[in-house]
Amino acid sequence: METPRQRARKQTMDDIVRLGREQLATVTPTELSLRGIARELGIVSSAIYRYVKDRDELLTLLIVDAYDELGATVEDAVAAASRRSPRARALVACQAVRAWALREPSRFALLFGTPVPGYAAPADRTVEPGTRVPAVLLALLEEAHRSGELEPPSGPLPRPVRRDMEEIRREYGLTVPSASLARGIGLWSALVGAVSFEVFDQYGPDTFADPGAFFDLHLESLITAVGF
Amino acid sequence: METPRQRARKQTMDDIVRLGREQLATVTPTELSLRGIARELGIVSSAIYRYVKDRDELLTLLIVDAYDELGATVEDAVAAASRRSPRARALVACQAVRAWALREPSRFALLFGTPVPGYAAPADRTVEPGTRVPAVLLALLEEAHRSGELEPPSGPLPRPVRRDMEEIRREYGLTVPSASLARGIGLWSALVGAVSFEVFDQYGPDTFADPGAFFDLHLESLITAVGF
DNA sequence: TAGAAAGCAAGAGCACTGCTCACATTTGTC
DNA sequence: GACAAATGTGAGCAGTGCTCTTGCTTTCTA
């Protein structure tokens, strides 16, 4: 049961998110212009507030939108490689993150770049989509462990780290050893760091003729460190 | 030979940078308000343009300021540990980066977060201060190699990566092997990633009771991967 | 089916921003 | 002391987020 009004509203909301996404290509998240969206929507500037409470609300919509697309992309890539080893699929997942980020630099920046000051993402709407990619990596880690393919990193685990890891293991019902979990989390942050460097041009100018090759090498090293 | 006027100008410039730095604590780089600085300076809004050409110019001043402080901090920390091994000093350098970033989150974000769209840092003013920290790490790598403490990573180096690394080695006159150099660059990006995660709160909420302990562990793993 | 309620759009207005320009004042130098 | 450069002033333009009042249209309900 969908009244014309509801359909029109849904359409307008979609348009708003789409136009916001387009704005992000040329503008930083803090500079998102509600007036600009209204203008392109062919609507007077104040009317936009019928759909979006304020700029923070728009930000939330775009964040969820981006997280969902990234999550789906990575999940699809991993699913398409379902017959390969956990290690190989982890590589695929990380490469999918990089590829998406290079395709959507501003949306990657929205998710992993400088947070907008004064804006706190509402946990009830962003946490779930935001954990999809880490969840994929964790699941692979867990699978590798269960099938005996995971070799636990050597070296002792400092007590405070062990405590934190055990807390996480309990919370998510993981069986993977704490040391491996810690490396896994490290992989996640290092991955985002490496992608950020490329997307934000943090390596010097023209450092790499073939950045993809460097990324893959770096990634292998990181994944090996996890024990995959 | 310094006229009072020149002295006053210098003073005003310093005040502008200081006030800009203070603004950065509550506001993203794109939101820096020249008018706000003028107001706090007790000067009419248009007068600020006698000192700073436009907002981009202010950005450049703040970027150089931040890079210089970070660079000096890391160099000092390493110098204070001059009697320790290159590996130990590399650890110290990375920890100094983290400590500075946690102390100055918004300035860290200015350097390593989302770039301001439409703003291109003038290379002639930012490259030198921006490479101070990587230069420290590279020097340590070089030193470790010369003293035979560096064990080259195993595994073959893909040809495109090797070419890129050799280009860099030539450019900077490095003797460190290409494979080690590649790991070193990887360390740099992973380091920034790990620090970003903490500064930008990218780990879940309350993931770590002791983030420092986790960071140190992660760092050891990264530095070991380099071969230090 | 009539009327109330809810939804949507318009336009004016406030306080803020970056930046420019014509003008006035101060300051250092010949 | 005269002149020029450096500095400060105030008005103004175009843009922003956001609020409020006013009017119209669609939907729900008695």
Task: Give the 3-state secondary structure of residue B145.
Answer: helix
Task: Give the 3-state secondary structure of residue A77.
Answer: helix
* B193 interface with A at CB cutoff 8 Å: yes
The interface predicted TM-score of the complex, written ipTM, equals: 0.94
Closest A-chain CA to B198: A189
| pLDDT tens, position by position, B6-60 | 899 999 999 999 999 999 988 889 889 999 999 999 999 999 999 999 999 999 9
Q: What is the pLDDT of residue B1?
A: 54
| pLDDT tens, position by position, B110-151 | 999 998 888 989 999 999 999 999 999 999 999 999 999 999
| pLDDT tens, position by position, A88-112 | 999 999 999 999 999 999 999 999 9
Q: What is the pLDDT of residue B135?
A: 97
Q: How far does the CA of B73 sit from the C1' of C2, in Å?
A: 78
Q: What is the pLDDT of residue A1?
A: 56
Q: Determine the Cα angle at B136 with ends B135 and B138, to 5°.
A: 65
What mean pLDDT comes out for the span A20-38?
92
Indicate yes or no: CB of B28 within 8 angstroms of CB of A117: yes
Residues 162-191 of A with CB under 8 A from B: 163-164, 167-168, 182-183, 185-186, 189-191
Answer whether residue A79 shows pLDDT above 70: yes
Tokens 């200081």 found at: B18
B208 contacts B177 by C-beta, under 8 angstroms: no
* B152 interface with A at CB cutoff 8 Å: no
pTM reported for the whole predicted model: 0.95
Q: What is the pLDDT of residue B2?
A: 67
Q: What is the pLDDT of residue A26?
A: 85
Q: What is the pLDDT of residue B5?
A: 83
Residue in A213, A217, A17, A211 with CA at minimum distance from that of residue A107:
A17
Q: Measure the CA–CA gap between B132 and B72, rounded to whole angstroms.
A: 8
Task: Give the 3-state secondary structure of residue B81.
Answer: coil
| pLDDT tens, position by position, B61-90 | 999 999 999 999 999 999 999 999 999 999
Q: What is the pLDDT of residue A5?
A: 81
A14 contacts A46 by C-beta, under 8 angstroms: no
What mean pLDDT comes out for the span A184-196?
98
Q: Which nucleotides of C are covered by protein (CB under 7 A)?
A: 7-13, 16-22, 27-29
CA distances from A35 to A45, A101, B78, B118 (A): 5, 27, 50, 20
| pLDDT tens, position by position, A132-188 | 999 999 999 999 999 999 998 988 999 999 999 999 999 999 999 999 999 999 999
